[in-house]
Structure 1
Amino acid sequence: MAVAKRNLENMYDKAIRKPLVKRTRIKIVRNSSRVITRAHVTDIARIPKIIGRVLQLTEGDAEDLLHHINLHFIGRHKNIDDIFKRNFSRVSQYIAREAIVSPTKELLIGAFFTMEYSVESAALFNPSIVPHPNQDDLPEGSIRFIMSLRATGEGHISSIVFRSGIIKADRTFLINPVSEFVDTPRIRHDQSYDRHLFELKLKSMNAWNETSVRVFENLADTFSINELKSQIAVVQMDTEEPFETEAIKNINWLADSNYFIKFDKNHDISEHVIFPISENESRGIEDARFVTFFDENGSVTYYATYTAYNGVSILPQLLKTKDFVNFDIITLNGKAVQNKGMALFPRKINGKYAMLSRIDGENNYIMFSDHLHFWDEAILLQEPSLPWEFFQIGNCGSPLEINEGWLVLTHGVGAMRQYFIGAILLDLDDPTKVIARLEEPLLTPNEEEREGYVPNVVYSCGALIHNNILVVPYAMSDITSGIATVSISDLIACMKPVAESENEVI
């Protein structure tokens, strides 16, 4: 730490300097024509009526109507028949047993209970960026990347979408063409839950009691969702011993909130949309902060913390993937899992997982844990101290490891709710210590960037470093996104060393 500190002091010339930030001409804009399908199931009382109207059609009229629907929609979705079949199955229980339903009318009924949803119609913002799992067949000095973005559509429901591209050796960017198709994943029912971990999460929720014990006592060390539901049914049907309804509700909630999804591996990553599935994220999946995590055995896993929103409350959650095709969605538990803006460090520190957070909505905190899913204590890391962050501060994604320390992009909120992007440097061995910071913002909204859905905002959910250049994808006023770059050496030279005592500036 002492050597790194002296290097910083030698480079800093006591005058406030701003690093040279270059904004690229790239603009990642919303595209309202990119649509997914959603089930469009109305009130239960209306479902049989709608089905009945379809069944009254002659077979010829049904074929004509289905042909007309396909004419307008088959070119917008790769698997329209499968979509109609899935949504038919959602309402098939309302069809009388004696009714004869032809394959044509099954598809037609499914079509009436299907709707399109434009995931990007309102905004495309708050990006993060990580190296692509596949770095094969690239020119020397280039890197392939994946960028995640928060997409917002009708009703301000947020989801996660992706872009990909290449950063060339000359620091130019190639953004891959975006597919005209988008698709949501399928829930994987072949995955198993870990009984011990499930029980720990229930106990963390103060939801472990006699009813919970009865549900789990006959389950194996790993169990499927169907095995869990069967055991819940056994407990509910036991007439001799009553059960606690709230306990069953908590078990179901936890199972629904920890689930597994899979995309078609043959689809381009720009076609992947992670759309809300569970109840606690029903109103949006917000601000995914992706990180390339290196385990102690050298294996790589991609994690992303995000905020689940149900219209009333928020809940920090975790995404896990190896390939951006299969994803595990995981609840984060513990007393310190509060508020927004959690960002995982890319490796363990002194044998523990580490994560940045903002549990009080105002200050930056750091947390450590023996288990990735459980976070119980937070340590105050940084309070607002500069005018451009007087209102509140937070992180702009996971820390980046460099020789001088852990580089953390921050966001500060100043007067008139203007958002800025700044930077601090944490000690490599003890990241509870801030050893340097920028006195002036790294990025300030310019005249073009300050106009949008939420004015006067620049914001990022994660950057990467390539060839000594910091690559910062960032949102512009919550409506569109761009990319900026800055030299790491220039950035470090402009940071002001911070004394150990109360962050006193040297």
Structure 2
Amino acid sequence: MDVRPSNPAYRVRGAFNPAATTFGDEVLLLLRVAEDAPAEPGRIAVPIVRFEDGRGVPDVLNVGLHDPGVVPRDTRGVAVDGVEYLSTLSHLRLARSRDGVNFTVEDEPFLFPSTPAERFGVEDARITRIADTYWINYTAVSGDGWCTALASTRDFRTVTRHGVIFPPSNKDVSLFPARCGGLWRALHRPNNDGFGKASIWTASSPDLFSWGDHRCILRPRADVPYEGAKIGGGPPCLLTAEGWLQVYHGKSATGAYALFVALLDRDDPSIVLSRGVEPLMEPEEDYEREGFFPNVVFANGLTHDQPSGPDGELPPEAHVRLYYGACDGTSCLAEATVADLLAAAGPVRPVAVTEPREELSVFTV
């Protein structure tokens, strides 16, 4: 896919971690496009956003390497007069396809930073269709940290922003496409700076905007490769007769990422029914092992065949396309069936009604 820079002074460094959905007879991806700004020798250039009339305008900050007040931050950015800037800036770009394999990337950003909470970029979207509305949640990054914002569209031409729904530091949010127990549900991943490691939580909401009832349901397992550092949610869950399927990512102590599958209770997704020990996917191909951030497979988008079972359940034979990012540089495709994902989640564990929820969150199959 050829991706045009959002500013002629920018250079596209990667188009990766795509959200995915179907819209009419098209498959749509929302790519995270990361850009930088080349500089002449002895100078530093970084992409920045100027905010004008409620919108963001891409610009370049160009300074001398030895100018007063300039402090380089290795390859990640620079501080100028005490203000931090990152070396790359991300936005979300729409790509369209008729066959789900060959995509055409639109020339202009679909979602570009528009508020100070998005000053360092918008990243890693998920798309959840509810009725005729497509809800897009994404990570907003600024000097205040990273948080999760929400937008919506019905036509993928115009978009409405709804602001921050999970404050810093929280990301890897995915919305469930149907109510559970009368409430909307979400998976989210607050950062752990104190005790414990970053884990997957659930939350509930009456309206998709106000979230509460936060519960930690999945924690990294020390004895499972690729979960030594943290875990986080992936694409929106798939509904099956057995429960909700979630494809999530794990990060090893050495920085490598792999994908796992968990099965959550249909009526109360804070209950974990099963959780795979072996990765669904791990870095194997050269393009998954070598790149800007090596040894990474990271998924936040999938599509599937139209459900044929009752209440929107996907049958075991339903075809699933998993769109994922490799090495923070490229977008890739893997294919499976619902039966494959159920097998990757492992056998269901009978759950006693009186069993403490805490034990469920650390159970290993």
TM-score range, shorter chain: 0.7 to 0.9
Structure (1/2) with the larger strand percentage: 2
Do the aligned partners of 2:126 and 2:236 also contact (CA within 8 Å) in 1? Answer: yes
Q: Distance in 2 between matches of 1:396 and 1:493?
A: 18
Residue of structure 2 equivalent to 1:305: 137
Residue of structure 2 equivalent to 1:331: 163
Residue of structure 2 equivalent to 1:68: none
Q: Distance in 1 between matches of 2:364 and 2:283?
A: 26
1:282 paired with 2:119, answer yes
Kindly state the Cα deviation for residue 347 of structure 1 after the two structures are TM-superposed: 1.6
1:400 paired with 2:261, answer no
Equivalences for residues 92-491 of structure 1 within 5 A: 116-118=8-10, 121-132=12-23, 134-135=24-25, 144-154=26-36, 155-167=87-99, 173-178=100-105, 182-183=107-108, 272-293=109-130, 299-333=131-165, 338-361=169-192, 362-385=198-221, 386-448=224-286, 449-466=288-305, 468-491=318-341
Do the aligned partners of 1:332 and 1:375 also contact (CA within 8 Å) in 2? Answer: no
Structure (1/2) with the larger helix percentage: 1
What CA RMSD, in Å, does the superposition of the two structures yield over aligned residues? 2.1
Give the letter for the 1:354 counterpart: R
1:496 paired with 2:332, answer no
User: CA 1:353–1:491 in structure 2 vs 1: closer, same or farther (change >3 Å)?
Assistant: closer
Q: Distance in 2 between matches of 1:178 and 1:162?
A: 6
Residue of structure 2 equivalent to 1:251: none
Do the aligned partners of 2:245 and 2:341 also contact (CA within 8 Å) in 1? Answer: no
Kindly state the Cα deviation for residue 425 of structure 1 after the two structures are TM-superposed: 0.7
Q: Distance in 1 between matches of 2:297 and 2:181?
A: 34
% identical aligned pairs = 29
Deviation sequence 1:431-472 (CA, Å, 0-9, x none): 111112221001101141111111111101121222612211
Kindly state the Cα deviation for residue 505 of structure 1 after the two structures are TM-superposed: 5.0
Kindly state the Cα deviation for residue 338 of structure 1 after the two structures are TM-superposed: 4.2
Larger Rg: 1
User: CA 1:178–1:364 in structure 2 vs 1: closer, same or farther (change >3 Å)?
Assistant: closer
Residue of structure 2 equivalent to 1:207: none
Residue of structure 1 equivalent to 2:6: 36
Do the aligned partners of 1:309 and 1:315 also contact (CA within 8 Å) in 2? Answer: yes
Q: Distance in 2 between matches of 1:305 and 1:131?
A: 16
Do the aligned partners of 1:400 and 1:464 also contact (CA within 8 Å) in 2? Answer: no
Deviation sequence 1:111-137 (CA, Å, 0-9, x none): xxxxx244x6111111121111x23xx
Give the letter for the 2:206 counterpart: D
**TM-score normalised to the size of structure 2?**
0.73
Give the letter for the 1:463 counterpart: L
Q: Distance in 1 between matches of 2:329 and 2:6?
A: 20
Kindly state the Cα deviation for residue 146 of structure 1 after the two structures are TM-superposed: 0.6
Deviation sequence 1:236-258 (CA, Å, 0-9, x none): xxxxxxxxxxxxxxxxxxxxxxx
Give the letter for the 2:347 counterpart: K
Do the aligned partners of 2:185 and 2:205 also contact (CA within 8 Å) in 1? Answer: yes
Name stretches of at least 5 consecutive residues in structure 2 with no aligned partner. Answer: 37-86, 193-197, 306-316
SS at match of 1:490: helix
Using CA pairs under 8 Å that are at least 6 residues apart, name the structure with larger relative contact order, 1 or 2. Answer: 1
Aligned positions, number: 287
Give the letter for the 2:182 counterpart: G
Q: Distance in 1 between matches of 2:340 and 2:172?
A: 27
Kindly state the Cα deviation for residue 405 of structure 1 after the two structures are TM-superposed: 1.0
SS at match of 1:355: strand
Do the aligned partners of 2:188 and 2:203 also contact (CA within 8 Å) in 1? Answer: yes
Deviation sequence 1:251-301 (CA, Å, 0-9, x none): xxxxxxxxxxxxxxxxxxxxx4321121211210011111112xxxxx321
Kindly state the Cα deviation for residue 339 of structure 1 after the two structures are TM-superposed: 1.3
Residue of structure 1 equivalent to 2:46: none
Kindly state the Cα deviation for residue 330 of structure 1 after the two structures are TM-superposed: 1.4
User: CA 1:414–1:483 in structure 2 vs 1: closer, same or farther (change >3 Å)?
Assistant: same
Deviation sequence 1:68-100 (CA, Å, 0-9, x none): xxxxxxxxxxxxxxxxxxxxxxxxxxxxxxxxx
**TM-score normalised to the size of structure 1?**
0.54
Q: Distance in 2 between matches of 1:151 and 1:410?
A: 22
Q: Distance in 2 between matches of 1:465 and 1:327?
A: 24
Kindly state the Cα deviation for residue 415 of structure 1 after the two structures are TM-superposed: 3.0
Do the aligned partners of 1:469 and 1:488 also contact (CA within 8 Å) in 2? Answer: yes
Give the letter for the 1:290 counterpart: I
Kindly state the Cα deviation for residue 311 of structure 1 after the two structures are TM-superposed: 3.4
Do the aligned partners of 2:149 and 2:162 also contact (CA within 8 Å) in 1? Answer: yes
Q: Distance in 2 between matches of 1:333 and 1:493?
A: 34
SS at match of 1:131: strand
Do the aligned partners of 1:337 and 1:376 also contact (CA within 8 Å) in 2? Answer: no
Kindly state the Cα deviation for residue 388 of structure 1 after the two structures are TM-superposed: 2.1
Q: Distance in 2 between matches of 1:450 and 1:367?
A: 34
Residue of structure 2 equivalent to 1:188: none
492-501 or 322-331, which moves further after superposition? 492-501
SS at match of 2:156: coil
Give the letter for the 1:341 counterpart: D
User: CA 1:117–1:302 in structure 2 vs 1: closer, same or farther (change >3 Å)?
Assistant: farther
Give the letter for the 1:476 counterpart: A
